[in-house]
Chain A
Amino acid sequence: MPENQSSSSKSTLLQLSSSDAYQRWRLLKDKIVAHAVVFGGLSIILAIVLIFFYLLYVVFPLLLPAHAEAVNQYSAPEQALGKTVFLSMEEQNEVGVRFTDQAKVIFFNVADGATIRIDPLPIPEGVQITSYAHGGVDKGVIAYGLSDGRALVVKHAYKLSYPNDKRVITPSIQYPLGQEPVVVDNLGQPLIKLAVKLGDKSNTLFAKTADNRLVLTNLSKKESLFDDEVSWERIDSDIDLPSENIEFVLMDKEQRNLYLASRSGELSVIDITDKSKPTAAYKLNVTSQGIQITSMEFLNGDISVLIGDSTGLLSQWTIVRDKQNHYSVQKLRSFKVSDSPLVTINPEQRRKGMLVADTQGVIGIYNSTSEREAIKEKAFNGKPIAVTLSPRANAMLLETEDAKIHFWTVENEHPEVSWSSLWEKVWYESYPEPDYIWQSSAASNDFEPKMSLTPLVFGTLKAAFYSMLVAIPLALFGAIYTGYFMATGMRQYVKPGIEIMGALPTVILGFLAGLWLAPFVEKNLTGIFAMLFVVPVVVMLFAYCWQFMPKTIRNKLPEGWDAILLLPVIVLSCWLAFVISPGIDALFFNGDLRIWMLKELDIGYDQRNTLVVGLAMGFAVIPMVFSIAEDAIFSVPKHLTTGSLALGATPWQTLAKVVILTASPGIFSAVMIGLGRAVGETMIVLMATGNTPVMDLSIFQGLRTLSANIAVEMPEAEVNSTHYRVLFLAALVLFMFTFVVNSVAELIRQNLRQKYSSL
């Protein structure tokens, strides 16, 4: 920098003149200060870059692809005890378990496959195992169907303890329905297909018997008042349906629906809400001709069914209620996994994701909400017989036909987020159609987070649009008058007066908007709209009549003070608008505009709505737009306007053709900065809207903006969760938007300043 060089050349002069310690100390100080100041100045850029990169740093993991890695591979432990029918692992990824077809439960060390414990299940003598089923992967419930029409229900559970500050996991087997098998088929036929779900009070088992009957058994708990003994109340029923082909059976955890599918693609849904009277509800084909169903499993929450077919296609089906209250089974989406039949599906236990594997050893991890393919890899050669994801979905076990278990770790932190789940319509479970929804959290584990930013961006832009609609005319017209026509004496007070408005805390504006303006507007809706017409008309009328006033009176008002004169006129006209509004109501709207709108136009009215926000936030934006636009207009060089006036143009012509044209970049940047402010404003929208994230264009409905959403949800978001990062993404979107708007406005303003100084 030349200036620095010149200062250093000066210091060499000083050095020549005196070289004692004190002088050196002075020069050193000078240098230190120079460096410190330069660093301080540049740190402003650093600050803005830091904010940007920090936001990006938090958001970034959302964009990272998932990652899976093979850790170990070992032979399945205790192969002599039978083939695996069900594989699972506990939360810490330390203990795995395999259930065999000989009713043995083998707990093993996940890392190396060493056996930890073997539990033989109490299968009665002389009875064979004919089928098995799990009662929800997250519940750990397994049922074996037996050849005498009974079923044994067991549960694997884990206890954590910390002897000597070391974590020890103790696996165990429990019998939720007792050690004695439960009778499912009263006729004692072998159960060849089985489904089971246990609830707090009610437990339901369903089976297809060897002689092709479908039987349902419900056991509900009866707690005796007098002793601790638990007795079971039984309901048995038969389902009358052709059943020869039924291959896959599933029952949801509410024990309300039963999904039966044949290999050829016929899916029937049975309503079993009334356990004594199951009724067939739906029947449809879920695959095209010649394509077979090869696997079927619930997605977490048991609301939708995942069906894998012989062409390697995974599809998600669910019962959907449309707007006319008709129910039907619909396909929500499908994933093309591979070209080979999909043999196993394992749902994630806490998210709407799943692990699938095909006959060729290709595995895929998908998320249904975001339609994201997190992982697809060829994990091994051959056919898998059991796959499982750990409860936290950060590890998986895959067992192949040759009884090899593969242990993989999975890094898939934020599968629910994708471009489509954030910005596009998503067909959520139990919604009638794809939609934009923001609903980020709920109490239950199987809740499907709905994180569409679209309604929030929509709300932000809607609020900003209506507030700009209020602010732009008032601010720009005001700026034009103040900057060009107003007398200096008056301008001196008016400008800071309006600018001070910008210093008012927005929390006060929001409070007034929510608690004073909203009820006021609700009560005087007609009056507010009447004002829009009455005020300009009255002002015009007054101006027209003013020119006929005697000159003596007119001359008393100095030039450029007209605004003072209008103050009482506007107050009067507002009052007039409110006075005539009941008359208008009575004449056109049967006495009340709001009720009339609801009845005749079907427009609902929220008390805290966009109109209120528009008025309040418009008020907040006015000072900023006014101030910058006024500066631009006022600093238009005087010789331009005087030249125009000298050539015979009227003041208005001069204004329209010279002043506004010259100042237009400044006015534009004023509007841009105002927009930036309106988009980022938090407290007003937080307090004056109902904060409902709806996408509705109506001015009488509420909205939720990005900023208010952050303010509401950020304190509750768990650090580094998907929700937390999505909120940071919302902040980043706000930041980027205002960054672009402000930078453009600032560049325009800097250019304008240069232009003026050259004029």
Chain B
Amino acid sequence: MIKAWFKSGLPWIWMTAGAVSINLLLVLGLLMLIAVRGLGHFWPADVVEYHYKDRQGQSSVIIGEEVDESLLHKAQAISAGLEVLNGADYLQQYLIKTGNRDILGTDFRWIQDQYIQDKTTPEDLIAVERREWGNFYGRLLAVKQNGQVIAEGAKAWPVAQEQIEKNLQLFDEIDHLQKKEMGSINYNLERLRLKQRALELKNEWDDSKKQAFAKQKLAYEEEYKVIQAELLKLNIANKCCSIVVSEAGGREISIPLNRVIKLTRPNAMSALDKSIEYIKNVIAFISDDPREANTEGGIFPAIFGTVLMVMLMAVLVTPLGVIAAVYLREYAKQGFITRLIRIAVNNLAGVPSIVYGVFGLGFFVYILGGNIDRLFFPEAAPAPVFGTPGLLWASLTLALLTLPVVIVATEEGLSRIPKSIREGSLALGATKAETLWRTVLPMASPAIMTGLILAVARAAGEVAPLMLVGVVKLAPTLPLDGNFPYLHLDRKFMHLGFHIYDVGFQSPNVEAARPLVYATSLLLVVVIIGLNMFAITIRNNLREKYRALEN
């Protein structure tokens, strides 16, 4: 019976079906893992108060969010140096985010279920999001202004919220002054210096120019002083208030309100409140700048850098890819040369991305960039302008890397356009170029779009070459700003993919940053899968359309 069954080949068919199922499960599992962990990051978790009696019999109170749990087998637990009470086979552990890094030294702590005496979620526990030292968990005692208590007990909460609101506004103003206004003045001063140097190099630096420059410089410095005075005022106003809080151990601590971003009582929130908070968190994540070595805050500069780089790349890759595809389909005689080009295209697609990075660094940055600097920016020497990794070179490198994607997609689109359309156009007296421009390319434009979208999706996720040609972990300024010439192709930029690598593997506090990395991953996955789905849909629609045309 079994023998006959094996002989029929059925079990092997089932095995192949099993392989498909495993593949599908892997895809689904991976997406779900990222989705669950990434989305969970924004939900305001309950703050739990544990009464804990540890191995040495010492009692303590622990306040924090429960972020992970693990079930260890007895043998594993003992080999990790833990004891297992009551002859249990398993040891249940929880990972608690205790925050208060300035007091405790770490953000996280594993606690064992067997030592927990009591576990409650009192409503008066607060979570404070700070600009540095991570979160604080504890209880709010009072609000102080210039050292005087202005609210205490139950009244403290609304007053604190009000004050934070004010402080955040002040902070925005200060930030604007520092980054925008002062940044702009500094930028202009630097440009002035470079201009002067350029004139000196050309031996055109004379007294009249000297005076004109000095005047301009003076004007900038005056402006600078005004802003500085204003800043000083704002900073004093910003430092007036603080909150007094008590931590799990009972110690009272004062936190200046200008260091606080958010004050919440997650345990007192209703599901609706939490949902609103959730959406706020998501928005903050997408629109804020990162804090604390990228492990906290938002990822706006990374999103911005990725989008800008990808757009530049699209501008560069589209004409190249389309021309190559047009050549292959419309102009070249199918034969040895086209075969060679197809092999070249396939090879371009198969070359490891890091090799593009190496090529980009050596050829674009050092050779092209170095020569551009020598020819056009001698005044900046020895500081490089284009002779260092930057936005332009990253885009160019990725354009080369995604070229095959555009070529293949465009070629497919061109091959689906019926010959009769071209012949009709030619028969009416159009030249080949006119046929191409007026009929073939417009019809192929959805295919070109498809290729472009796929290229963008590929470029958005590529990291290895970017590490060599322009991505940095923290860019002080965006590559696009209000200072002439607005788009700064020579600047370094941040990138979502590199952000994931950097925060997940290079940051000092990986454990704390992990949820943020999941959230970033989720964003990247959603964007890339979305782009891919979009491209596939366009392609499918296109196929339908041409099928109709052919009939």
Contacts and interface: CB of A to CB of B under 8 A. Distances in A.
Interface of A: 1-4, 7, 10-11, 14, 26-27, 29-30, 32-34, 36-38, 40-45, 47-48, 50-51, 54-55, 58, 473-478, 480-482, 485-486, 494, 496-498, 500-501, 503-508, 510-512, 514-516, 523, 535-536, 539-540, 542-544, 547, 562-564, 566-567, 569-571, 582, 585-586, 590-592, 595, 619, 622, 626, 650-653, 655-656, 673, 676-677, 679-683, 686-687, 707, 710-711, 714-715, 719, 727-728, 731, 734-735, 738-739, 741-743, 745-747, 750
Nearest to B531: A503
A555 B503 CA distance: 53
A41 B525 contact: no
Contacts of A536: 15, 18
B353 A504 contact: no
A707 B354 contact: yes
A547 B348 CA distance: 49
B528 A505 contact: yes
Most A C-beta atoms less than 10 A away, residue of B33, B464, B533: B464
Contact of A505 (B5, B327, B341, B461): B461
30 contacts: A1-B333, A10-B426, A30-B432, A37-B330, A50-B363, A51-B359, A55-B362, A58-B362, A474-B19, A481-B13, A481-B20, A505-B461, A505-B462, A505-B528, A511-B500, A514-B504, A523-B76, A547-B10, A562-B17, A566-B21, A676-B350, A680-B351, A707-B464, A711-B354, A714-B468, A719-B366, A734-B354, A741-B350, A743-B343, A746-B346
Given A11-B431, A47-B400, A592-B75, A34 B331 contact: yes
Contact of A539 (B18, B25, B345): B18
B219 interface: no
Nearest to B338: A41
Interface in B339-366: 339-359, 361-363, 366
A501 B21 CA distance: 14
Contacts of A687: 501, 504-505
A248 B514 CA distance: 63
Nearest to B462: A505
A1 B75 contact: no
B342 A746 contact: yes
A306 B215 CA distance: 68
Given A4-B331, A515-B504, A743-B343, A43 B19 contact: no
A559 to B, nearest CB: 11
Interface stretch (B138-146, B259-267, B318-326): B318-326
A592 B358 contact: no
Given A14-B429, A687-B504, A734-B352, 20 more contacts: A1-B332, A29-B433, A30-B432, A30-B433, A40-B320, A44-B407, A478-B19, A478-B20, A506-B464, A514-B504, A539-B15, A543-B10, A566-B21, A567-B24, A591-B76, A650-B8, A651-B13, A652-B10, A687-B505, A746-B347
Nearest to A624: B350
Contacts of B79: 592, 595
Contacts of B17: 481, 485, 562-563, 566
Contacts of A55: 355, 358-359, 362
Interface size range of chain B in the complex: 35 or more
A510 B463 CA distance: 11
Contact of B434 (A26, A582, A655, A681): A26
A543 B327 contact: no
B429 A508 contact: no
A510 B501 contact: yes
Contacts of A48: 344, 347-348, 351
A507 B471 CA distance: 14
Interface string B60-95: 000000000010011110010000000000000000
A738 B464 contact: no
A43 B68 CA distance: 54
A389 B17 CA distance: 71
A745 to B, nearest CB: 8
Contacts of A7: 432
B11 interface: yes
B16 to A, nearest CB: 4
Nearest to A32: B433
Given A37-B327, A55-B358, A540 B347 contact: no
Given A481-B19, A500-B27, A515-B514, A650 B9 contact: yes
B51 to A, nearest CB: 29
B323 A566 contact: no
Given A544-B11, A566-B18, A739-B351, A746 B343 contact: yes
Contact of B468 (A4, A478, A676, A715): A715
B318 to A, nearest CB: 12
B22 A570 contact: yes
B309 interface: no
A650 B432 CA distance: 54
Nearest to B510: A515
Contacts of B403: 44, 47
Contacts of B8: 650, 652
A497 B24 contact: yes
Contacts of B341: 41-42, 44-45
B231 interface: no
The 10 closest A-B CB pairs, nearest first, are: A652-B9, A680-B352, A591-B75, A41-B327, A505-B461, A40-B323, A477-B19, A543-B14, A682-B464, A481-B16
Contact of A41 (B2, B27, B328, B514): B328
Contacts of B363: 50, 54
A619 B346 contact: no
B327 to A, nearest CB: 3
Contacts of A673: 350
Contacts of A34: 331, 432-433
Contacts of A511: 500-501, 504-505, 517, 521
A34 B330 CA distance: 10
B352 A682 contact: yes
Given A29-B431, A503-B529, A512-B30, A567 B21 contact: yes
A500 B536 CA distance: 10
Contacts of A743: 343, 346-347
B243 interface: no
A185 to B, nearest CB: 54
B73 A714 contact: no
A563 B464 contact: no
B458 interface: yes
A32 B331 CA distance: 13
Contact of B358 (A567, A655, A731): A731
B433 A683 contact: no
B275 interface: no
Contacts of B9: 650-653, 655-656
A41 B528 contact: no
A40 B333 CA distance: 15
A677 B355 CA distance: 12
B500 to A, nearest CB: 5
Interface string B438-469: 00000000000000001001101111100110
B23 to A, nearest CB: 5
A301 B426 CA distance: 78
A36 B504 contact: no
A567 B468 contact: no
B34 interface: yes
Given A498-B27, A503-B458, A543-B14, A40 B358 contact: no
B463 A33 contact: no
A187 to B, nearest CB: 59
Contact of A504 (B20, B30, B351): B30
Contacts of B348: 44, 47-48
Contacts of B346: 742-743, 745-746
Contacts of B350: 673, 676-677, 680, 738-739, 741-742
Contacts of B437: 33
B73 A582 contact: yes
Nearest to B426: A10
Contacts of B19: 473-478, 481
